[in-house]
Structure 1
Amino acid sequence: MDEKKRLLPVEAAEQFVDRFFPKSLGAVLGGSVVRGEETSTSDLDIVVIDNTIKYAYRESLIEFGWPIEVFVHTMTSYKKFFEIDYKRARPSLQRMISEGVILKDTGVIELIKKEANEILDKGPEKWTEEIIRQKRYFITDALDDFIGSTNRSEQIFIVNYLAEAVHEFTLRTNGHWIGSSKWIVRALRQYDENVAEEFVEAFDAFYKNNEKEKIIKLVHTTLKPFGGRLFEGFSMGKD
């Protein structure tokens, strides 16, 4: 793809919406290009509100010199996805709309943006004490496997689980949204830059030097305010 010839992000996105969704009620361009975080492989994330479709859908294609991911919703379907994202504590659609540059609006996008911002400001559902106990147990179980393992291949995947689980525990117990993939670190940084740095250093030390101690310390520090590691006495589903 010749980057010198392709249109600027907003211009390409506007032309895409004009050509493929002329009857849409509105559209926004979100993602890395509007946050100033784009890379050589970044695409255009476009959310379209169009009541002429029957079902919400997502599609990937290349137009106007750009890889484009379009998320097409009706005035009903976006609300369902807002609810799904809220329950899983990963507000992907809300973020795209909140931070998005308006490409087209017939009077609905500003209202949807307001709704997205209210959800983001509210934060995710608070974890119950029982959920926290369960998460402590499963993190403890994985940490014990990690400490005792002498198999490098197995350690890699135990650590992958711990990274997901510890980031989730840290953010959810502090009332913050979680992430996945690259958004794990982004979500941690939005919560606390120092916590994010400690998190990255711990896992980087293992991947580079097979050093376990920083991860072990990180897990202990994370669980300590909630009673620490949990094994003895834990049960789930017992009458």
Structure 2
Amino acid sequence: MDPQPEPGPRLDSDQSAADVHAAGRLVSARYPEAIGAVLGGSAARGRSTPTSDLDITVLLPDHGARRREVIRHDGRLAEVFLNSRADLRTAFAESRRTRRATALFLFADSVVLDDPDGHVETLRQEAHVLLAAGPDPLTDQERDARRALLTDLLDDLADAGPDSDPYEQLAVADRILREAAHLLTAHHRTWNGAGKWLPRRLRAADPDLGRRLLDGHLALARHAAPAPLSTAATRVLDLAGGPLREGYVAPAGALHPGADATGAGDHG
């Protein structure tokens, strides 16, 4: 399934027009050095409310200092990402490695606020191309590390009896969902996500198995029923090569995902 940007901007509502106007005023007032700016996030997709924050990316001259600012302007909260063109291209490339395309989506699914020299539009087109190409595939080492971790987590869930601490069980389930989502989106070469974007990206990657993972997590949270999540996560594990226990060797200095500096992972 080819990854696609979110539905394009819908600027036919009063709220959308107000968002664009507010974002434009903010950029003009606070960042006179800007050589371009876009409004992204829910505001760009016509899904914001009067209390939603504004996600703004400001393009700086090449000597500008890259930073992130959370500010309030004219009563509106805004999260502002300030980058030079080189900074953004570095962030775009990093997105392919981490498989989370926050910067790419914010720029591709955006409303142009200011672009006097065409730099913004050039970067938007680059973002669209990279989104369509999808993230880098997992290396064998990365895949094995995540297989080993998910295997370990599923064993922990299976070991939990009816009298298990429900907080511990839910904490394990949360990690299983995240790790299974990472493996499943990687299997389909689609983008992963965090927070509210994890279920959105998961359903986009695999509507059937993604939904089973989410439903399984919900069943455990609501009813302390681990079987649906375990079954769905095991299916994901099978797609990635199956469980990995004995025989797994991590290269010296490599930590599996979630391990601390001792390599101990989630065991204490």
TM-score, normalised by the number of residues in structure 1 = 0.91
- 2:192 aligned partner: 178
What's the counterpart of residue 137 of structure 2?
Answer: 126
User: Compared with structure 1, are the counterparts of its residues 227 and 24 closer, same or farther at alpha carbon in structure 2 (3 Å cutoff)?
Assistant: closer
Tell me how far 1:89 sits from its aligned partner. Answer: 1.0
Give the secondary structure class of the aligned counterpart of 1:76.
helix
Deviation of 1:20 after TM superposition, in Å, equals: 1.4
Counterparts of 2:49 and 2:230, CA distance in 1:
33
In structure 2, distance between residues paired with 1:93 and 1:211: 37
Q: Distance in 2 between matches of 1:143 and 1:25?
A: 50
Matched positions, count = 234
Structural mapping, 1:40-51, within 5 Å: 41-51=51-61
Deviations 1:20-51 (A, max 9, x none): 12231110000012223335652100001021
Deviations 1:77-96 (A, max 9, x none): 11222222222111111111
- Kept in 1, the 8 Å contact 2:107–2:127? The answer is yes
The separation in 2 between residues aligned to 1:204 and 1:217, in whole angstroms, is: 14
Q: C-alpha offsets along residues 128-170 of structure 1, whole Å, 9 cap, x if unaligned?
A: 3332222111100011011112222211211111111000000
Quick one: which of 141, 146, 151 aligns to 1:135? Answer: 146
- Distance, in Å, in 2 between the alignment partners of 1:230 and 1:196 is 22
Stretches of structure 1 that go unaligned for 5 or more consecutive residues are: none
The alignment's C-alpha RMSD in Å is 2.0
Residue number in structure 1 paired with 2:234: 220
State yes or no: 1:90 paired with 2:100. Answer: yes
The aligned residue for residue 162 of structure 1 is 176
Which SS does the other structure have where 2:148 is aligned? helix
* Alignment-mate amino acid for residue 185 of structure 1: P
Which amino acid letter does the alignment assign opposite residue 10 of structure 1?
V
Question: Do residues 56 (structure 1) and 61 (structure 2) align?
Answer: no
Q: Which amino acid aligns with 1:168?
A: H
Kept after mapping to 2: 8 A contact 1:23/1:52: no
Cα displacement (A) at 1:53: 5.3
For the Cα contact (< 8 Å) 2:212–2:229, is it kept in 1? no
CA contact (8 A) 1:55 1:77 kept: no
Instruction: Give the 5 Å matches for 1:1-239.
Output: 8-38=18-48, 41-51=51-61, 54-106=64-116, 107-149=118-160, 150-237=164-251
CA distance in 2, matches of 1:197, 1:100: 28
Structure 1 runs of 4+ aligned residues shifted over 3 Å read none
**C-alpha separation in 1, matches of 2:198 and 2:47:** 15
Measured against aligned partners, the alpha-carbon deviations of 1:84-119 in whole angstroms (never above 9, x if no partner) come to 222211111111110000000021111000111111
Q: Distance in 2 between matches of 1:189 and 1:161?
A: 18
SS in 2 for 1:68: strand
- Any conservation in 1 of the 2:135–2:190 contact (CA below 8 Å)? yes
CA distance in 1, matches of 2:69, 2:241: 45
Specify the SS of the correspondent of 1:28: strand
